[in-house]
Structure 1
Amino acid sequence: CDPKADSTINLLGGEPLRPVMNYMREEDEEPERLEDISKEGFGGVLCIETGGPTPGLGCAGRGIIATFQLLEDLKLFETWKPDVVLYDVLGDVVCGGFAAPIREGYAEKVLIVTSGEMMAL
């Protein structure tokens, strides 16, 4: 979840990616295809941005949980069979939704990356 939705911008050659939450808000429905919310970036990396709720009007944590459910519904992991999955999670965790990758079993191992540089990931 990142209101700026710029976690994947370097992998996509500077092109922004429409976040899942924006898609659902603007289309008033869930995407039916993985291609509606993803792009393949550098090195064949599949990129997806969760985004966030309208500022001041929602819970970003619930958006993260909804996105994970959507990825299951779209069979992302069965289709792509990724070797590695990276989650760029805010460092200032303020709600349980941000811990969804760990709590819900989407992550087997957690590595914490910190940096004073922009776009550390």
Structure 2
Amino acid sequence: MSTLLETSRRDPYAEVRDVALAAVLTREDAAEETGLNPLERITCRIHRRWLHHCVHSRTHVIPVTGHRWCRACECAADISVDELTGTVAVRCTRCRRIPEGPATRQLIRCCRASLAAAQDSHV
């Protein structure tokens, strides 16, 4: 009889109800092993969700890279994702400006891709 620990080693996403999400999580985990930049994921291995569903978490603030971070104010930036319109917006919590740079552009691009993949999985 297999234990829960043995089951999670075989399939860490067995408890994820969204089959398409579980498949993408698994695929991105494998891709990371062969060079995928973890910041290019459209899923989140920590929260086991589509990126756009959890990107607002403080876990996704990375000052070193500038992800959800305003370098000018040295504080976290808010991110909002409108699933209806597909709009992704990042704003500094202090100065209310959009943090400039490749990390913000990458985050917006990955959230949009996450939105599209999640919508495709529910069609």
TM-score using structure 1 length: 0.26
- Structure that is richer in helix per residue: 2
- Structure that is richer in strand per residue: 2
TM-score using structure 2 length: 0.26
Tell me which structure has the larger Cα radius of gyration. Answer: 2
